[in-house]
Amino acid sequence: MMEREEGNTSNTYGITKRTILFGVIPFIVLGAMIILLLSSPGILFQSSIKPLPEVSIEKVEFSDGNVVAFVRNTGPSEITIAQADVNDRIHPAAIEPGRTLVRLADARVIIPFIWNAGEPYDIGITTDDGTRFSKTVNSAAPAPRPTIEQASTFALIGTYVGIIPVMMGLLWYPFIRRLSLNKYNFFLSLTAGLLVFLGIDALLESNEIGVDTVAPAFNAQILIIMVAIVSLISLLYVSQKLVQRASVRSRSDIEHDMGYESHSESHSGAGRDFPTFGSSLSSSQQQLLIRPIAISMMISIGIGLHNFGEGLAIGAAVLLGEVALSSFLILGFTLHNTTEGLAIVAPMAKSRRIPVTRLLTMGLIAGVPTIMGAWIGGFLYSPIATIIFLSIGAGAIFQVVYSVGSWIYHTNGNRGLLNNPSIITGFAVGMLIMYLTGLLI
């Protein structure tokens, strides 16, 4: 008996060890294969053809008397840069840190060149096998330098594009509060429409950047989808936790608030189609109170992430000389983004009154990232970072769409979404508004 027990224990112990062993064996085999392939290249697979080089010019900056191209070796093997040119005419240049680039390494090519503002330039580099790679800049403009003036310019742009429109949108709060349930559903679904548009827009824009600017080696398109999905599911998780925690922790708070809230509600007279809140709370009534604020907060965060990506894109566009910043352009962005404020306030309209400071906080969460995005995009432009943040933003937006959608489902009396014409119209109008204001940009 004792022996058997001992045997059992050692067996259990052995299984743990063996489990580790079984887990490791594939890695050992893999390692052996890697060593075999690398130590004697050509023993199994032999090719006399040198792999084609691939170089990406990620960014071209124009400064005083210089053109600076940021190049990256995105090909399969090490390359050496031999020459640089402007408009396909050879020019002496410096390359830092050096002319030889290992895979995925980058370098700066500095070409002394007197350029003319506003003119297009084609900047090229030639690798040691004589292949030329080039990037066309539509309109040369001095690169933004991280000076106080430039930083405040970007801050101003961010304020106009991000903060002011969102804040203006928040001004619709009292209006939404006074709507009947059906009209409220219309505006909720309008919000969903706006957000869906924003999400698709972010995906398309990051796809465009990914295709045009990012080297194929980075697989930008799959990266976009991947980041958006991860962003979506992790924010779904976060929002669920947020609602759960809030409902557990602040039940007493809410119950206290309720008395005050139902009082003011009866004064406003807006709750005609809406269940009146009594002193005793059913779980569905609790949801009515808690979820809207959580949804609004998630919308602010989602829009904040989206605006960060938008800020990156704006800063980068200024840096790359792709847009001339004009009042008209800023006006277009302002109109376009005003709807974002509406999206934030819409879910909260039928809950208790929201303090102004909290509204402002949500507005700032949604708007301020635009400024930071513009700084980072303008001073440290990187197409990869831009598409990553745009995709995170897209995922966040779709999470918010999900929340808003389930909220509409709820306010629609759990009777589905597609049976109510005001929901369908709202959704369509929301997207149409975004499309039309988007034409101004």
Partner 1 sequence: MTYSRVGLLIGITASIVIALISTILYSRSSVSVEDSSKTDTVGGHTPGYPIVRTTGDVLDPTSSAIDPKAAVVDPMKYLRDFNYGRISKLSNGTSVREFTLIASDQQTKEVSPGVLYNVWTFNGTIPGPTIRATEGDLVRITLINNGTKFHSIHTHGIHPSEMDGVFEGIAPGGKFTYEFTAEPFGVFPYHCHMQPLEEHITHGLYGVYIVDPKKPRADADEMVMVMNGYDTDFDTENNFYTVNGIPYYYMHHPIQIDKNRLIRIYLVNILEFDPINNFHLHANVFDLYRTGTKLISDEYTDIVTMSQGERGILEFSYKYPGKYMFHAHKTEFAEKGWTGLFLVKDGTAQSVSENSNVTSVRNTTSYSIRELDNTTNLGATGGLR
The residues of the shown chain that bind partner 1, judged by CB under 8 A, are 61, 63-66, 68, 70, 80-84, 88-90, 92-99, 106-110, 112-114, 126, 128-132, 143, 238, 242, 245-246, 249-250, 253, 293-294, 297, 300-301, 304-305, 308, 312, 358, 361-362, 365, 368-369, 372, 376, 380-382, 384-385, 389
- Residue 39 Cβ, how far from partner 1 at the closest point, in Å? 27
Kindly state the smallest distance separating residue 295's Cβ from partner 1, in Å: 10
Residue 300, token pair as written in the block: 């602010």
Q: Kindly state the smallest distance separating residue 375's Cβ from partner 1, in Å.
A: 9
For 163, other C-beta atoms within 10 Å of its C-beta total 22
Which is closer to partner 1, CB of 314 or CB of 433?
314
Give 30 or 90: the residue with its C-beta nearer to partner 1: 90
Rounded distance between C-alpha atoms, residue 404 and residue 343, angstroms = 9
CA distances to 21, 160, 174, 352, 434 from 264, rounded to whole Å, are 68, 35, 13, 9, 34
Of 10 and 136, which has the nearer Cβ to partner 1? 136
Q: What's the min distance (Å) between Cβ of 336 and partner 1? A: 22
Buried b / exposed e along 335-355 (16+ C-beta atoms within 10 A) = bbbbbbbbbbbbbbbbbbebe
The count of other CB atoms within 10 Å of the CB of residue 226 is 14
The tokens 């067996």 sit on which residue?
Answer: 11
Question: How far, in Å, CA of 220 to CA of 254, rounded?
Answer: 46
Give min distance, CB of 433 to partner 1, in A: 26
Q: Which is nearer to partner 1, 93 or 433 (CB)?
A: 93
| DSSP conformational letter for 142 | B
**Pick 306 or 336: Cβ nearer partner 1:** 306
**DSSP state for residue 164 in the 8-state scheme:** H
What's the closest the beta carbon of residue 19 comes to partner 1, in angstroms?
36
Residues across the chain: 441
Q: C-alpha angle 198/211/162, rounded to 5°?
A: 30
Nearer to partner 1, 30 or 380 (CB): 380
CB nearer to partner 1: give 95 or 195.
95
Considering the complex, what minimum distance in angstroms separates the CB of residue 388 from partner 1? 8
> 412 in helix, strand or coil?
coil
Distance (Å, rounded) from C-alpha 412 to C-alpha 416?
7
